[in-house]
Structure 1
Amino acid sequence: MSLINVANLTFAYDGSYDNIFENVSFQVDTDWKLGFTGRNGRGKTTFLNLLLGKYDYSGSISAKVAFEYFPFQIANKEDNTTEVFASICPDALEWEVMRELSLLQVSEDVLYRPFDTLSNGEQTKVMLAALFLKENSFLLIDEPTNHLDRHARKIVSDYLRSKHGFILVSHDRAFLDNCVDHILSINRTNIDIQKGNFSSWWHNKELQDSYELAENEKLKKDINRLSAAAKRTSDWSDKVEKTKNGTTNSGSKLDKGYVGHKAAKMMKRSKSIESRQQSAMDEKAKLLKNVESSDKLKLTQLSFHTSRLVELDDVSLFYGEKTVCEDISFSIEQGDRIALSGKNGSGKSSLLKLICGESISHTGTFRKPSQLKISYVSQDTAHLRGNLTSFAKENSIDESLFKAILRKLDFSRVQFEKDIAAFSGGQKKKVLIAKSLCEQAHLHVWDEPLNFIDVISRMQIEELLLEYSPTILFVEHDSAFCKNIATKIVEL
């Protein structure tokens, strides 16, 4: 066991006026299994890069271990996997490699195939196996779940639970709950570490937020009451002061000393109330610093003139001679929230594209009314570039509504001035979801919409779908999201 000490860490990117971290201090035990969470754009990957020494910063980071980062940059993906493995971990013994692959339920034949022919899930597992054969290293694992189906996520989560000495960035609640023993969270104003899994951290955060909100309401009432009292006392003081040169009811002159003393006494009382008011305001300023803004989202979906929107009967899809999936039968009725489930490569995305109107070779019966309007969110965000104003105009959506939704999804106004290409992965996905929420559609089709998206935004989207009950067909490997949202599950 050793400690990683972070002291007074301050960092901002060149040309930026805003610090991502400011005077941050904490300690991490290298034996911990640390889940790392925080809203998109808060600096999780930046912090990992600071540990790796990639940027200059003020403050100090001290550790007696080396840091290793996942995912690795693979220079020659066409090489056999054995060669790729050896380039990452040259000292690994064959039996150690076989043991790790077995724990990850990967057959050893993948070692003798070119790395670029492996599925995304297989590549992830191979790189994780190599990562955990690095000795005397603290491992930085950055979002390993984005290319894993639900079954593979369970396997990788069980694998990580048997290990220790890592920071894991993930937004999958069930995944984190299964394999971490501490949570490191980047909040609005600080970095916090708590013992436990994600659920225990979230429970504590809700309790703290509720306490701060209740205290905030109480202090607002105190400030209003004290303000009114201070104004009354000040008015009384002014009124008494004005009588100094007057006369009594009997016609005799007033005692100026007595009146002045009375006015001063009232003024002193007014100052005392002002002081108490300022103390209450100072106390109020300490609250709500880490209460996350998660305003409710809204969605207006068009109603269609028939209850059945889409029907598939014994549909099989093909790319050339290759069968992608076969004998698929299900229908989409208005109000359905259907999760399309299956392993990577089982044809989920191809099926969504067929429904959205792409020309894909198929057999069987596929029915979709020509008037049906569909809003589609794709997996891919690589095409996104330009500013948000231009994006809204190109996609014929209301710019004000579009930006209002992004604000609710934790976009700062500074983001509105940036090129979308410079956004984080999670922020790009939020752009696509916000676009979909602005579109007038009878059916929403979302393909892995939550990849890279932070947990609080996931919960906002859950609340939206539960409140408005739109007709939606989606592919998503976040088991908690699917359990909460899906009214039907179609297995491929």
Structure 2
Amino acid sequence: METLNLELNEVEVTYLDRVILNIPKLTVYQNDRIGIVGANGQGKTTLLDLINGRIKPNSGNVNRVVSFNYYEQIKQANASLNADLLDAELLGRMKVPLNSVETLSGGEQTRLRLAQVLSKYELGLIMDEPTTHLDADAINYLIDELRYYYGTLILVSHDRYFLDHLVTKIWEVNNGTVHEYEGNYSDYSEQKKLAALEKQRNHENYLTEKKRLERSAEKKLLQVQKMSQVSVKKQKRSIKPDRLSASKSKDSVQKAAQKTVKSIEKRIDQLEEVSPMQKQQQIHFPLSRNLAIHNKYPVMGQDISLMRGNKVLLNRANFQFPLGKVISITGNNGTGKSTLLNYILQDGEGIVLSPKVVFGQYHQMDYKFSNRVSIIEYLQKFTDYSESTIRAVLSNIGFRQTDLGKIVSDISGGEATRLVLARLFLQPSNVLILDEPTNFIDVLTIEALEEFIKKYEGTVIFTSHDRYFTEKIADQVWKIDNEKLVLIYDR
């Protein structure tokens, strides 16, 4: 029999008048591997805090049978912890430098915090976005480490590769409710697609049956109207005694037809209405004639050498990035990916740009909104696209129509990130530079970003540790390795 580690019963968490979570029942057993997904702001982190005991429900009961370690999404590494207290093998395999915390990069701080959490064992482990800033090697090591974790594992992650290799259940948090799906993220995604197809079929069946009944009712109504006209004509004529019974018979038929019409109308009212699946509006980002580039390679590098302090990142690297292609720059943490993107943007020595290049750029967390204008007004300042296109872009990237009147200085971090991405595609450009655009955004926004990039007509150069994202959109993959930039994939 499975050992129960956690149970939530009739739990409700509210803030002011808003219900954040409403959970009738959730159970977690000893060897469960659970991935939590959902759009930003739906309550994923609140659910983790509830499980860990950091917050208490307004009503209901959280029964924690075991203790949980908690890896938080945004937190500084604990500088007071002595490396002697940590698992030395873990530190080595995570490639954590034994420097002061202040000198560590984002990826190195993430690896140190992971080592700090994993060095202390509990029967339960909660992790909120543990792959942020990690390169592919570190993600693979973390997967191997967690695959053999004895106990309950509960993960929030936007990394579909990470979820696919670890979890056996998905909890989808949406509008305060939690729905459980068996399998990993790909299984969940397939189940969602099948459910969407089933809903669409049910909607079409509903429309077909409704139209059939409406036509039947119209036909019967027409019969009733004809009978009524005949009855009126007969009333104007004297009715002989031998025709009286026939007239009464026809009146009975008329009443029966009227009764049938009412019965059909009642059946129409009793049909269970099935609403259609909400379809994303198709978006196209055409380049204006002024932005058209005719160079076969709008971005090139000749004998590029880059350094960070005393460390050589690139040594006499050469590259040609083709027109209209989506180009991924990969490599481990610290190899110089972001440095190369910035060098291209700065048109550094050895960089050869087409004279017509107009850059659009995204740097993670690169926003400061102090404007007291609405979301829709803010974007209209940056683009010549129509308001309907702006609304379509915002809808596809997760904004509801009721959100568009929000003041941009008041929106959340997740909303601000999505707004920056929306602005990026609506501004005039022909070369996009994207530095880790998938960090800190939910899976739904990542999938929307994939579609945006596919529809963009210019050239895209990006870095990302999200393998599924890279596999879906990249035409070319270049890797920085041993101070060289090498083309390793060309679609």
TM-score (normalised: structure 1): 0.83
* CA shift digits 1:162-200 (9 cap, x unpaired): 224121111221111111121112246842222221112
Q: In the alignment, is the contact (CA less than 8 A) between 1:243 and 1:259 conserved in 2?
A: no
SS at match of 1:146: coil
Deviation at 1:134, TM superposition (A): 4.3
Change (3 A) 1:157 1:426: farther
Change (3 A) 1:25 1:15: same
Q: In the alignment, is the contact (CA less than 8 A) between 1:316 and 1:328 conserved in 2?
A: yes
5+ long unaligned stretches in structure 1: 86-92
Q: In the alignment, is the contact (CA less than 8 A) between 2:304 and 2:315 conserved in 1?
A: yes
Identity between Structure 1 and Structure 2 (%): 26
Q: Which moved more, 1:208-217 or 1:135-144?
A: 135-144
CA distance in 1, matches of 2:368, 2:409: 8
Q: Which residue of 1 aligns with 2:484?
A: none
Give the aligned residue type for 2:8. V
Which of 164, 168, 174 in structure 2 is aligned with 1:181?
A: 168
* CA shift digits 1:373-411 (9 cap, x unpaired): 111111124524544245325535547233320112221
Q: Show the 5 A alignment for 1:68-467.
A: 68-71=69-72, 79=79, 81-82=81-82, 94=85, 97-102=87-92, 104-106=93-95, 110=98, 113-136=99-122, 138-163=124-149, 164-187=151-174, 190-241=177-228, 243-247=230-234, 252=239, 257-280=248-271, 282=272, 284=274, 293-301=279-287, 302-318=291-307, 323-357=312-346, 365-386=350-371, 387-396=374-383, 398=385, 400=387, 401-420=389-408, 423-466=411-454
Q: Which moved more, 1:342-351 or 1:68-77?
A: 68-77
Q: Which moved more, 1:67-76 or 1:426-435?
A: 67-76
CA distance in 2, matches of 1:72, 1:134: 18
Give the aligned residue type for 2:91. L
CA distance in 2, matches of 1:177, 1:292: 27
Question: Over aligned residues, Cα RMSD in angstroms?
Answer: 3.2
Change (3 A) 1:154 1:405: same
**Total equivalences in the alignment:** 466
Change (3 A) 1:395 1:440: closer
Q: Which residue of 1 aligns with 2:478?
A: 490
Change (3 A) 1:403 1:245: closer
* CA shift digits 1:92-150 (9 cap, x unpaired): x94x6224435x5335x52xx32222232232223223323445453321111221122
Q: Which residue of 2 aligns with 1:90?
A: none
Q: In the alignment, is the contact (CA less than 8 A) between 2:12 and 2:57 conserved in 1?
A: no
Give the aligned residue type for 2:460. I
Q: In the alignment, is the contact (CA less than 8 A) between 2:283 and 2:455 conserved in 1?
A: no
Q: In the alignment, is the contact (CA less than 8 A) between 1:158 and 1:179 conserved in 2?
A: no
Q: Which moved more, 1:218-227 or 1:450-459?
A: 450-459
Q: Which moved more, 1:366-375 or 1:236-245?
A: 236-245
CA distance in 1, matches of 2:189, 2:403: 27
Q: In the alignment, is the contact (CA less than 8 A) between 1:2 and 1:64 conserved in 2?
A: yes
SS at match of 1:247: helix
Q: Which moved more, 1:425-434 or 1:248-257?
A: 248-257
5+ long unaligned stretches in structure 2: 481-491
Change (3 A) 1:72 1:144: closer
Give the aligned residue type for 1:128. L
Q: Which residue of 2 aligns with 1:38?
A: 38
SS at match of 2:27: strand
Deviation at 1:490, TM superposition (A): 1.8
* CA shift digits 1:19-62 (9 cap, x unpaired): 44445433222421111112333221232233334365344433
CA distance in 2, matches of 1:81, 1:171: 29
